[in-house]
Structure 1
């Protein structure tokens, strides 16, 4: 099983939405999505996991590796709507990863609630619903 993803740039905030199951088989695709994110946009990145059905230990490690990769690029990673089956427990070498209850609260934290969708750019996998 794999994942689908959509990356949206809203002003100086990136939103990487992920659906499916982030397990060992999907880590490579997630890593590729993070590469796409690093190459486009600026500022923090919120990974929206509202459509994620779950994640494995390998999937959680991919999230912490993404936080490290974004930090190396001068950007931070935040999570929204983590799966109910577990929480992310990064090791001490991982940058802080703020967790929001949902995407709306993450956007509110960045002052984007009323401006969402104004002049944004978007990329997605072919399997992401339009």
Structure 2
């Protein structure tokens, strides 16, 4: 099983919703999605894990790596609705990754207005992305 993702640009921040299972086989796809979101955003990136069925140690490490990658460029990665089986353990020199109980709480923490038009992108099939506006 791999992951699917959906990215929403809220102007000052981005939200990447991930579904499926973030295991070792999905790490390259996840890294590509993070790179894609990094190239299009400028502020914090909220990783919405509401629909994530679970993650492996490799998946958690990939999230910690994504947080470090964003932090190196002055941007934050925050998590919303992590799976019940744990939390992300950051690298020793890395700041903890903020975790919100759900996406609404994460958006509220950034005073994001959810009723304004946003741009959205999502995976359509495992090998193709679509853009909808």
TM-score (norm 1): 0.92
Which region of structure 1 is more displaced relative to structure 2, 90-99 or 32-41? 90-99
1:56 & 1:43 partners in 2: Cα distance?
Answer: 27
Is 1:116 aligned to residue 129 of structure 2?
no
Which consecutive aligned stretches of 4+ in structure 1 deviate over 4 angstroms post-superposition?
none
Equivalent position SS for 1:6? strand
1:117 & 1:123 partners in 2: Cα distance?
Answer: 17
Give the unaligned 5+ runs of structure 1: none
Higher relative contact order (CA 8 A, sep 6+): 1
Q: Is the CA contact 1:16–1:45 (under 8 Å) kept in the aligned structure 2?
A: yes
Q: Output the aligned Cα RMSD.
A: 1.6
Q: Is the CA contact 2:9–2:118 (under 8 Å) kept in the aligned structure 1?
A: yes
1:102 & 1:119 partners in 2: Cα distance?
Answer: 21
Number of residue pairs aligned between Structure 1 and Structure 2: 127
TM-score (norm 2): 0.90
Q: Is the CA contact 1:38–1:73 (under 8 Å) kept in the aligned structure 2?
A: no
